[in-house]
Amino acid sequence: MSRKSIVLLAVAIFTAALFALDPGQTELEHNGWFRYTNQSSEFKITDPSVSRFSLERGYLRFSYQWAPPFFTKMTVDIFSSDKYPEGATVRLKEAYADIAMPVVRDFNFTAGLQKHYFGLIYSWDYTHPEKSLADDQGICASADYGLTINGYLPSGLGELQLGVYNGEGYKYAGKYVNLSPELLGNVRLTPFPGIALGVSMFTNAADQSHYKNDKKGRTTQSGSTFFMNADTANKNRFALAPMFKLAYGPVSLLGEYINYNYTRFFSYYKINFDSAGAVVDSTLNEKTKKYSFSGLDLVPTVTLAKRTLEIFGRFSLWDRKEEHDNEMQLNKDKSFIRYGAGFNYHFMRREKGKPGLEFQFAWTRTQPKNTELKPTDVLLAQVRFEWSTIINKPEL
């Protein structure tokens, strides 16, 4: 392998660095994903449960270099949604300021809504058009509000990030953000060209309850009426994610293992009745339930035809365990094996090999570990179009 190839291979291992702007320059960027989704059971694509076109992503990025040590960036996402009658919605994805650290070379202090440096979620480049495993399973968000120290280790050894975040992710603010911050650490090392090894962890004392499976309001079970409190919280949260990437020539293998645990605390009032059916009083019941998740994700890729064509596969395992009768039992309905394959064809690439105009196709099958449940097949066909331009500071 030539020296040039080794250098390019090592660069590909790292997360793409920010495009260097001169002071006073502004960069505008757009990322658009126009997607067709077909979802069916047992590959019955002519009788699907989902068949639709949509704009899955519509990023608008605005970056400005104030001076060599000061950089700011904001990203908004405009995409298809049923939430509003207009058929689209807007959400904030990034809004942060970078300040170069005066003592430590190649490190920044970043404040604002920024990348969440856990596992593969922050560097997932969507060579496979579906989400990373942590993102897909709701372990954490790809961005969050917080403060980080982040940068590159000396001699090209790798990268390091340390951060404190809200912990609820970029979609939640205000009343959904509790008083307990999330602490995170991430390191990736490239000891040799073509090899990257890393590990991430985060911990959060409590994550307030805004999840779909929270029970709130009134419910009836076995003839008894319960009033649920809105105090459900996932406490003692801890997640760990080792990762690796191996690359040699046109072949690469990306992998990650995830382990995530928490305890759910919740309470409810049980309404007590007398023999005539009249309400007597209520009893406060407090309960806890432990959850444990673990998974493996592997993505092999072969790049051909002068980087015009990428052929990829994917294999994932996911186990969800829940506490029942003081034992951690596998929830087979929500545990699965997932596998599939696809390809990307690049009509044009941008600078540093970034996608410009690209067609993506992927098939994945998800088989629950409860063998009585049928597998789900998803076909994705996507046109990915991205561009950027730099606006120079006007001369006075």
- How far is 217 from 40, CA to CA, in rounded Å? 34
Tens-place pLDDT, residues 75-98: 999 999 887 888 889 999 999 999
Angstrom distances, CA of residue 15 to CA of 97, 188, 375, 392 = 19, 10, 34, 26
pLDDT of residue 81: 87
Q: For the chain, what are the domain ranges?
A: 23-391
pLDDT of residue 230: 52
User: Is the Cβ–Cβ distance between 340 and 128 less than 8 Å?
Assistant: no
- Its CATH architecture, for the domain 23-391, is Beta Barrel (2.40)
pLDDT of residue 9: 40
Nearest to 62 by CA among 390, 317, 313, 337: 390
**Which one has a higher pLDDT value, 208 or 266?**
266
Tens-place pLDDT, residues 248-263: 999 999 999 999 999 9
pLDDT at 385 over 60: yes
pLDDT of residue 134: 97
Tens-place pLDDT, residues 37-78: 999 999 999 999 999 999 999 999 999 999 999 999 999 999
Task: Say how many Å lie between the first and final Cα of the chain, rounded.
Answer: 50
Tens-place pLDDT, residues 307-362: 999 999 999 999 999 999 999 999 999 999 999 999 999 999 998 889 999 999 99
Provide, rounded to the nearest whole percent, the portion of the chain with pLDDT above 90: 72
In three-state secondary structure terms, 125 is coil
pLDDT at 19 over 50: no
Written as six digits, the tokens of 393 are 């500071």
Q: What is the CB neighbour count within 10 angstroms for residue 143?
A: 23
**Which one has a higher pLDDT value, 4 or 168?**
168
pLDDT at 393 over 90: no
pTM comes to 0.86
- How far is 151 from 15, CA to CA, in rounded Å? 11
Task: Give the helix ranges, DSSP H, for the chain.
Answer: 3-13, 133-136
Tens-place pLDDT, residues 111-129: 999 999 999 999 999 999 9
Task: Look at the alpha carbons of 341, 346, 352, 354 in this order and tell me if their dihedral is positive or negative.
Answer: negative
